[in-house]
Structure 1
Amino acid sequence: MIEGVKVKRLTKHCDDRGFFAEIFRDSEGLLESFAQASVSMSYPGVIKAFHYHDHQDDLWYFPSGNAQVVLHDLREGSATFGTTDVLYMGEENPIVLLIPKGVAHGYRVLGNTPATIVYFTSTEYDPKNPDEKRIPFDDMRISFDWTTKNR
Structure 2
Amino acid sequence: MGMESEQIDGVHIKKIVRHEDERGYFSELLKRGEPGFHTIEQTSYAVCKPGVIKAFHFHDYWESWVVLRGRAQIVIRDTRSGSKTEGLTQVIYAGEEEPIAISIPPNVAHGYKALGDKDVGMLYHAEEAYNSTRKDQIGAIAFDSPDIGFDWNSHG
Sort the TM-score into its range (normalised by shorter chain): over 0.9
Partner of 1:102: 107
Partner of 2:122: 117
Q: Which residue of the other structure, out of 30, 42, 56, is the alignment partner of 1:24?
A: 30
Contact 1:35 1:120 in 2 (8 A): yes
Partner of 1:93: 98
SS in 1 for 2:80: coil
Equivalent runs, 1:21-60 vs 2, <5 Å: 21-53=27-59, 55-60=60-65
Q: Among the aligned pairs, what percent are the same residue? A: 40
Q: 1:110 to 1:83 in 2, by over 3 A?
A: same
Output one character per residue of 1:40-99: Cα deviation in whole Å (capped at 9) or x when no partner.
Answer: 00100000000011x211100001100000000001111000000000011121000001
User: In the aligned structure 2, how far is the partner of 1:75 from the partner of 1:31?
Assistant: 20
Instruction: Supply the AA of the counterpart residue of 1:145.
Output: D
Q: Tell whether 2:76 aligns with 1:71.
A: yes
Q: Tell whether 2:12 aligns with 1:6.
A: yes
TM-score between both structures, scaled by the size of structure 2: 0.92
User: In the aligned structure 2, how far is the partner of 1:37 from the partner of 1:139?
Assistant: 28
User: In the aligned structure 1, how far is the partner of 2:152 from the partner of 2:28?
Assistant: 31
Partner of 2:85: 80
Identify which range, 1-10 or 23-32, moves more after superposition. 23-32
SS in 2 for 1:137: coil
Partner of 2:67: 62
How many positions carry a matched residue from both structures?
149
Instruction: Supply the AA of the counterpart residue of 2:140.
Output: R
User: In the aligned structure 1, how far is the partner of 2:118 from the partner of 2:101?
Assistant: 20
Q: 1:148 to 1:112 in 2, by over 3 A?
A: farther
Unaligned runs of 5+ in 1: none
Unaligned runs of 5+ in 2: 1-6
Q: Tell whether 2:148 aligns with 1:134.
A: no
